């Protein structure tokens, strides 16, 4: 059963009793609890409550009860979104160390391919769910399956070999009718690539390609397995989700090795309702637009909901976990003014994409200034009136990523193109001055209103089989549409290397080193050799030539759906916003006295950094 209205929740690693009550008093009714048994990536316990899984078949769920009761003492009408810690407790890692490597935090697939780990972890999950549903009936509105590095189903072991993993890989190859190798590829084989982009070859790197596909498939299968089992213990109306599908964010050592690329299989699971990610980490400063790590258009295609984790550091955020451990690399906004502009921007990102959200207070003090709770209360009022899981941007630009092509990227060397291929593109696209949507290649035949997209970006589409080429011709390469390719489009057909096919497909030969454009038969082809070459101004010019409506002259983040519009900018003074049609504008978030209107032209006197939300009638 799909959500009718997305979640609007509060979360913290700590108890944060006072802040919980402040959010409750501001109208928030959904809160996340995390009865954890494990430590985070810095070796610190996730939870301030004691572990509840103590040994094989030994559970102390009174610690879970206390966490619930402490929340209900200050938020009596709270609905709970509960994270389920499926990671290996320290005692389990040590108990099985002689026979198996089951440290799921350090090597997820090592654990997932161990049947003993799966059996014990499943028993724990079933016991925990049964206890919570009996002790707090009707209280939990959603569960989150958490496992792997940072509980986000990452595999960070770089594919190292274990007995159980090797046998699981060989069995997987046999079941799929693939070559069954004696062992997994070596590190050198997994990191090998050819050409300027260091891409894997279907001819030279068959074992490595099979293996990285196996890693992602193993994680996807395991998520679906635990989701199916969890469904047996919870009501049909209770939502179930997980962190997953970060193709737009992952980079060096994680884009492929992190094992998130089989996300379409997980998004298709009938047992899962939503998928979570934090905002993009590189585009959080003022003037940026943050952004999702997963293609939200694909989630809409699958009738699933995105859950946006707003963990952006306000100027008061506590990043000091202990007297010795601080996350000094995490940049924070500088003052209350930036905090408000940033939080509005992130809220609007969720609003315009039909997404759920939670305000993640991590280690506390993110929302200390009273102005921030007042702002969140105002956003909650907007949410109550306008939040809709079906809402999407009214876009004329689409980005269509391809997980199958992504497997060809070697993300283990530190100079790999994985660092920029998607994330740099998305960061630059955020400043387009027009909304866009993100999809996956397999969505193409089922995207509704495909004719609305005047500019379609196909980044790093390395694998183009005859069937894929036919699909492109049928749906995209027509109607005077502009298609933007990057890197080495069509360099293989899934069986052999085909560098000469790039010119036939795009009009540009393999090895082209400059941004260029060319008129084709009924469509326009544009090419960029790298994502870094696509600066915001270049993208804006390309979009304008394609007929995309740009709302502002300055490059800045804008979301629009025809009824609502968000603008975020660091440029001061009166700025012109040109609407597509005549409509009367009203400020929902911002300063009404700063807005004037002349027909379809708005003028807003920005006091930056500032984010405004407009409603049209």
Q: Do residues 423 and 444 share a domain?
A: yes
Distances (CA, A) of 52 to 35, 44, 67, 280: 7, 16, 11, 33
Judged by DSSP in three states, 524 sits in strand
Domain membership flag for residue 197: no
The DSSP bridge partners found for residue 615 are 564, 586
Residues 6+ apart with CB under 8 A from 505: 464, 469, 472, 485, 489, 490
Domain membership flag for residue 170: no
Instruction: Report the CATH number that the domain containing residue 322 is assigned in CATH.
Output: 3.20.20.80
- What pTM, to 2 d.p., does this model score? 0.97
- Of 186, 245, 254, nearest in space to 410 by CA: 254
Quote the Cα angle for 586-592-595, to 5°.
80
Q: Do residues 382 and 424 share a domain?
A: no
Is residue 294 a contact partner of residue 266, using CB atoms and an 8 Å limit? Answer: no
Is residue 86 a contact partner of residue 126, using CB atoms and an 8 Å limit? Answer: no
Q: What is the pLDDT of residue 320?
A: 84
Q: Do residues 452 and 497 share a domain?
A: yes
The DSSP bridge partners found for residue 59 are 53
Is residue 225 a contact partner of residue 125, using CB atoms and an 8 Å limit? Answer: no
Q: Do residues 469 and 378 share a domain?
A: no
Per DSSP, the chain holds a count of helices (H) and strands (E) of: 17, 23
Instruction: Report the CATH number that the domain containing residue 447 is assigned in CATH.
Output: 3.40.50.880
Is residue 77 a contact partner of residue 63, using CB atoms and an 8 Å limit? Answer: no
Is residue 561 a contact partner of residue 354, using CB atoms and an 8 Å limit? Answer: no
Judged by DSSP in three states, 595 sits in strand
Q: What is the pLDDT of residue 224?
A: 98
Structure tokens at 331: 């940049």
Q: How far apart are CA 67 and CA 71, in angstroms?
A: 6
Judged by DSSP in three states, 344 sits in helix
Judged by DSSP in three states, 438 sits in strand
Q: What is the pLDDT of residue 2?
A: 53
Q: What is the pLDDT of residue 1?
A: 44
Domain membership flag for residue 179: no
**What DSSP assignment string belongs to 463-519?**
B--HHHHHHHHHHTS-TT-EEEEESSTT-B-SSSB-TTHHHHHHSS-TT--S-EEEE
Last residue of one domain, picked from the residues 520, 546, 572: 546
Structural domains counted in the chain: 3
The DSSP bridge partners found for residue 426 are none
Instruction: Report the CATH number that the domain containing residue 574 is assigned in CATH.
Output: 2.60.40
Is residue 104 a contact partner of residue 111, using CB atoms and an 8 Å limit? Answer: yes
Tell me the residue length of the chain: 617
Q: How far apart are CA 502 and CA 199, in angstroms?
A: 15
Is residue 243 a contact partner of residue 275, using CB atoms and an 8 Å limit? Answer: yes
581 exposure class (CB count in 10 Å sphere: 0-12, 13-18, 19+) = exposed
Q: Do residues 437 and 379 share a domain?
A: no
Last residue of one domain, picked from the residues 353, 386, 419: 386
What number of CA atoms fall less than 13 Å from residue 333's CA on the CB side? 27
For 25-159, strand residue ranges (E) read 30-33, 53-55, 58-59, 79-85, 140-146
Domain membership flag for residue 51: yes
Mean pLDDT, the chain cut into blocks of 10 residues (617 residues total) = 81 97 98 95 89 98 98 98 98 95 96 98 98 98 97 94 96 97 94 94 98 98 98 97 98 95 98 97 95 98 97 94 78 96 98 98 96 98 97 98 98 88 97 98 96 98 98 98 98 97 98 97 98 97 98 96 98 96 96 96 98 97
Domain membership flag for residue 208: no
Q: Do residues 111 and 229 share a domain?
A: yes
Element (H, E) at 237: none
Q: Do residues 378 and 411 share a domain?
A: no
Q: Do residues 446 and 330 share a domain?
A: no
Quote the Cα angle for 603-606-609, to 5°.
150
pLDDT in tens, 357-399: 999 999 999 999 999 999 999 999 999 999 999 999 999 999 9
Structure tokens at 352: 């315009």
Judged by DSSP in three states, 168 sits in helix
Q: Do residues 146 and 292 share a domain?
A: yes
Domain membership flag for residue 391: no
Can you state the angle between helices 370-386 and 336-352, rounded to 10 degrees? 20
> For the chain, what is the radius of gyration of the CA atoms?
24
Can you state the angle between helices 62-74 and 17-25, rounded to 10 degrees? 50
- Of 420, 413, 539, 414, nearest in space to 487 by CA: 420
Q: Do residues 326 and 406 share a domain?
A: no
Domain membership flag for residue 199: no
Domain membership flag for residue 53: yes
Q: Do residues 432 and 533 share a domain?
A: yes
Residue 2: what are its φ and ψ, rounded to 5°?
-80, 150
Last residue of one domain, picked from the residues 352, 386, 420: 386
Q: How far apart are CA 218 and CA 214, in angstroms?
A: 6
Is residue 455 a contact partner of residue 548, using CB atoms and an 8 Å limit? Answer: yes
Residue 45: what are its φ and ψ, rounded to 5°?
-60, 135
Residue 463: what are its φ and ψ, rounded to 5°?
-100, 115
| Residue 98 domain boundaries | 8-159+214-386
Q: Do residues 325 and 231 share a domain?
A: yes
Q: How far apart are CA 24 and CA 30, in angstroms?
A: 9
The CB density around residue 313, as the number of other CB atoms within 10 Å, is 18
Residues 6+ apart with CB under 8 A from 411: 250, 251, 252, 253, 254, 255, 256, 257, 418
Q: How far apart are CA 91 and CA 87, in angstroms?
A: 12
User: How far is the first Cα of the chain from the last one, in angstroms, to the nearest whole number?
Assistant: 32
């Amino acid at each position: 059963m799909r959500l009718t209205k997305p979640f609007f929740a509060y979360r913290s690693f700590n108890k944060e009793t006072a802040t919980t009550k402040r959010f409750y008093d501001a109208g928030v009714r959904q809160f996340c609890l995390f009865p954890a048994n494990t430590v985070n990536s810095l070796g610190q316990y996730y939870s301030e409550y004691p572990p509840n899984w103590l040994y094989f078949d030994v559970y102390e769920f009174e610690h879970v009860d206390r966490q619930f009761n402490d929340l209900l003492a200050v938020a009596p009408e709270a609905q709970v979104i509960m994270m389920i810690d499926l990671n290996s407790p320290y005692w389990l890692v040590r108990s099985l160390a002689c026979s198996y490597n089951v440290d799921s935090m350090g090597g997820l697939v090592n654990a997932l391919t161990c049947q003993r780990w799966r059996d014990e972890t499943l028993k724990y999950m079933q016991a925990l769910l049964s206890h919570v549903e009996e002790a707090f009936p009707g209280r939990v509105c959603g569960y989150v399956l958490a496992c792997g590095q940072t509980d986000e189903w990452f595999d960070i072991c770089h594919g190292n070999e274990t007995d159980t993993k090797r046998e699981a890989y060989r069995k997987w190859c046999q079941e799929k009718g693939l070559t069954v190798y004696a062992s997994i590829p070596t590190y050198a084989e997994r990191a090998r690539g050819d050409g300027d982009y260091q891409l894997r070859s279907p001819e030279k790197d068959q074992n490595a390609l099979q293996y990285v596909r196996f890693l992602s498939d193993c994680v996807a299968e395991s998520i679906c397995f635990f989701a199916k089992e969890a469904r047996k213990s919870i009501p049909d109306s209770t939502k179930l989700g997980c962190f997953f599908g970060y193709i737009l964010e992952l980079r060096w050592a994680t884009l492929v090795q992190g094992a998130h690329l089989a996300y379409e299989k997980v998004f298709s699971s009938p047992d899962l309702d939503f998928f979570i990610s934090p905002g993009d980490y590189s585009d959080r400063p003022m003037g940026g637009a943050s952004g999702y790590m997963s293609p939200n258009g694909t989630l809409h295609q699958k009738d699933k909901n995105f859950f946006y984790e707003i963990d952006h550091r306000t100027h008061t955020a506590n990043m000091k976990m202990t007297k010795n451990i601080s996350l000094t690399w995490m940049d924070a906004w500088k003052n209350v003014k930036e905090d408000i502009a940033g939080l509005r921007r992130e809220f609007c990102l969720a609003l315009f994409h039909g997404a759920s959200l939670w305000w993640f207070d991590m280690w506390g003090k993110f929302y200390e200034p009273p102005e921030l709770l007042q702002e969140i209360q105002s956003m909650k009022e907007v949410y109550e009136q306008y939040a809709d899981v079906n809402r999407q941007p009214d876009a004329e630009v689409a980005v269509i990523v391809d997980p199958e092509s992504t497997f060809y990227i070697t993300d283990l060397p530190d100079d790999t193109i994985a660092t920029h291929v998607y994330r740099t593109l998305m960061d630059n696209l955020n400043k387009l001055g027009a909304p866009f949507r993100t999809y996956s290649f397999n969505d193409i035949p089922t995207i509704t209103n495909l004719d609305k997209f005047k500019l379609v970006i196909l980044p790093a589409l390395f694998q183009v089989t005859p069937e894929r080429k036919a699909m492109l011709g049928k749906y995209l390469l027509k109607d005077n549409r502009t298609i933007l390719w990057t890197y080495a489009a069509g360099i293989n057909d899934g069986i052999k290397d085909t560098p000469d096919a790039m010119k036939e497909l795009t009009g540009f030969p393999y090895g082209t080193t400059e941004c260029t454009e060319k008129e084709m038969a009924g469509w326009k082809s544009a090419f960029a050799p790298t994502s870094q070459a696509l600066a915001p101004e270049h993208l804006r010019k390309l979009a304008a030539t394609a007929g995309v409506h740009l709302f502002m002259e300055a490059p800045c983040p804008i979301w629009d759906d025809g009824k609502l519009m968000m603008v975020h900018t660091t440029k001061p003074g009166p700025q012109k916003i040109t609407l597509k049609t005549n409509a009367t504008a009203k400020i929902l978030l911002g300063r009404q006295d700063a807005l004037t209107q002349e027909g379809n032209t708005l003028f807003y006197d920005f006091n930056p950094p500032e984010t405004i939300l407009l409603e049209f009638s």
